[in-house]
Amino acid sequence: MSGMRAVAQTIFKVLGLTIALSISTAGGICSFALDETKTAVIAVEGLNLREAPDVHAPRLKLLKKGTVVTLLSPPAGKWLNVSSGDLTGYIANRKQYVTFTSPSPHADRSEELNQIERKAENTHRRIKTSEEKIRTLNRKQTNVLEKLDQLERDMNGIRKKTISISADIRELEMRTETFRNETNDLQDQIAKREAYFIRRLKSLYTLNRLGTISITASAQSLSEFLRLKTCIKSLMAYDEHLRRDLISDKAKMADLINRLNNEKTALVSLQEDYNRQIKRMTVERTRRNQLLTQIRTDTSLETTTLESLKQSALQLKRLLSSLQVKPVQKIVQKKTFSALRGLLNVPVKGKICNLFGSNKHSTLNIESFRSGIDIRADRGEPIIAVDSGRIIYSNWLKSYGNMVIIDHGDHYYSVYAHAEEVFKKPNALVDTGEVIATVGDTGSLDGPKLYFEIRHRGKPLNPLNWLRH
């Protein structure tokens, strides 16, 4: 918006100068008109209008008393060059013949003022038109940035959904594999029992041909007879037990096959949903890239973007202020954060690309202040907590994307923005070096990176003074 105000101010200055020049020029014309005699009145009856400034020149017309003539040259010498109607000629320049007149100064001034007023009205209309164009442009630029932020949020939601679906697919695949293994084991068990029953059926067939009496009759004594009888009963009871187990196994087998088919159907559905989300992500990413290209190529839009980033920085400052007043559980640390100056590990593996402090935009030549540093890194690179503390913010913030803020105690805070995936929720305790998120480009205008800040009592500190080099 400051860029647009500068444009508006420039327009007003130019138009104001135009008005001033118009008035100045008009003033010059008025003074010339007042000083210059333009007309004269014939004071005698029958004054000759001659073809040349000579008494012997042919007469063109007799001018009646009271006739108004227009002077074609300054009133000097013996003759006056005048025009009367459609005739042009010369009359004698004598006081008794001619009375010089001039247009009313008030009439001239009124006409000149009318012209100035008309110019001023036109200028005012142009100013109004320019102001409306600026407002329209501002609205369009604001809409582009709002649309970009909404796209970022939509993409972040899709990204979270795809991650959730991927986890569900992995879990479903594991369950499917478990069911498949159980089914295979059950099939082997059923096959073994069926083979056993085939052998038993053969034995029973042989037994039926011989007859149970023939087997028991072969006993040499009563005790042997009773033993044989007991063995036959036990064998038949065991066969009945195995038969029931076989029936139960086949029922389990049918249930497992049904569950396996259901899991496969669910898996196919999840994979289709996953593919749909990936397509949505591709479309949204294309739209996002188009908007980013528009922002980077449109200088006025980039100016509005810088103003939006300043507003987002103020929003972050207000957010930190609101979080500081909330009561939080005291953080127990082995060493105070202030004692770790110059000893903190870099939160992500990458290259520092933008430094803390005042900087000038390379294209727009606009001064701005960066409250942290940008670290260029690969998408998905782990982001670690520089020190132990408590998560006090884990959410989306315009222009920062997915952002995490850690309270390290004694009013020291670290900020991590543009994350792809965040693993910690508010109030979670983290240890030094613990992975809290991964690198992404949420809210970023120039690709995957980590935006990192350190603040004390809300005031931004140069992170390079705190990181171990």
**For the ranges 177-186, 282-291, 455-464, which has the lowest average pLDDT?**
282-291
Better-predicted residue by pLDDT, 390 or 29: 390
Distance (Å, whole) CA 465 – CA 469: 9
- Residue 229: predicted pLDDT: 67
- Listed range (38-52, 68-82, 291-305) with the worst mean pLDDT: 291-305
Q: What angle do CA 305, 444, 161 make, to 5 degrees?
A: 125
In this predicted model, what pLDDT tens digit does every residue of 251-301 receive, in sequence order?
Answer: 777 777 787 777 777 777 777 777 777 777 777 777 766 766 665 566 554
- H-only helix segments in 211-221: 212-217
Segment 98-103 mean pLDDT? 73
Which domains can be identified in the chain, with CATH numbers?
2-124 (2.30.30.40), 126-296 (1.10.287), 301-465 (2.70.70.10)
Cβ atoms 432, 414 nearer than 8 A? no
pLDDT, tens digit, 9 for 90 and up, residues 127-180? 676 667 666 656 665 666 677 677 777 777 777 777 777 777 788 778 778 777
The residue-averaged pLDDT of 40-65 equals 90
Over range 426-445, report the average pLDDT: 92
Residue 448 confidence class, pLDDT cut points 50, 70, 90: very high
- Residue 185 is predicted with a pLDDT of 80
Res 106 pLDDT > 70 = no
Give the residue with greater pLDDT, 108 vs 318: 318
Residue 181 token pair: 């293994």
The overall average pLDDT reported for the chain is 75
Using pLDDT thresholds of 50, 70 and 90, give the confidence band for residue 14: very low
8 to 48, 127, 361, 365, 398: CA distances (angstroms): 64, 9, 21, 18, 28
Q: Which residues of 40-58 are buried (b: 16+ CB within 10 A; e: fewer)?
A: bebeeeebbbbeebeeeee
Which DSSP symbol is given to 344? B
